[in-house]
Amino acid sequence: MTLTVRDIAHARAGDKGERVNVSVIAHDSAGYERLLRELSETRVLAAYAPVAHGPVRRYAVPNLLALNFVIENVRGGSVTATTALDIHGKSLSALMLAIPLFGNEPET
């Protein structure tokens, strides 16, 4: 079975106008190291390509075992003027959780 981000972390999305931030918080430090290795800006942008033009910025927050991604230029414009059903991008955390993880067996 393919491991996904959801198996080692949780996430929350919030909006700031035409950008959305998605935090990814690992359940433990091994998970955090794995997120740090695998969740590059490029991979996250690829996962969000259907909903955002990018670019994507990544901030490491090791004290919270978290990465914070800021995804620019969400398609359809800002929260206040978009035609999208999800005007705030609130569902976009789930897209992060679905990203498959490569590499080895689950780190136990």
Partner 1 sequence: MKAGHLRIGSGAGFAGDRWEPAAELVEHGDIDVIAFECLAERTIARETLALLRGSGPGYSPKLEERLRAVLPACAAKGIRIVTNMGAAAPVPAAHAACALAAELDVRDFSCAVLIGDDVRDQLSTRAELTLLESGEPLESILPRMASANAYLGADAVAEAMASGALAVITGRIADPSLFVGPMLHAFGWSYDDYAKLAQATAAGHLLECAGQVTGGYFADPGVKDVADLARLGFPFADITPTGEVTIGKLTDAGGRVDVATCSEQLLYEIDDPGAYITPDCVLDMGGISLRQSAPDRVQVSGARAAPRTSSYKVSVGYFDGYLGEGQLSYGGPNAVARARLAGEIVKQRLALRGFAFDDLRIDLIGLDSLHGPAEGRPEPYEVRLRVAGKTENRAAAEAVGWEVAALYTNGPSGGAGDFSSVREILAVQSVLLARDLVPTRIKLIETR
Q: Using CB under 8 A as the criterion, which residues of the chain lie in contact with partner 1 when the complex forms? A: 6, 10-12, 14-19, 21, 23, 25, 50-51, 59, 61, 63-66, 68, 70, 75-81, 83-86, 90-92, 94-95
Identify which of residues 36 and 84 has a Cβ nearer to partner 1 in the complex.
84
Identify which of residues 15 and 34 has a Cβ nearer to partner 1 in the complex.
15
Whole-number Cα distances in Å, 84 to 20, 73, 88, 90: 14, 13, 9, 11
CB of 62 to partner 1, least distance (A): 8
CB of 37 to partner 1, least distance (A): 20
CB of 102 to partner 1, least distance (A): 18
> How far apart are alpha carbons 17 and 80 in whole angstroms?
7
Whole-number Cα distances in Å, 16 to 70, 77, 78: 9, 11, 8
CB of 22 to partner 1, least distance (A): 9
Whole-number Cα distances in Å, 95 to 8, 68, 90: 15, 14, 11
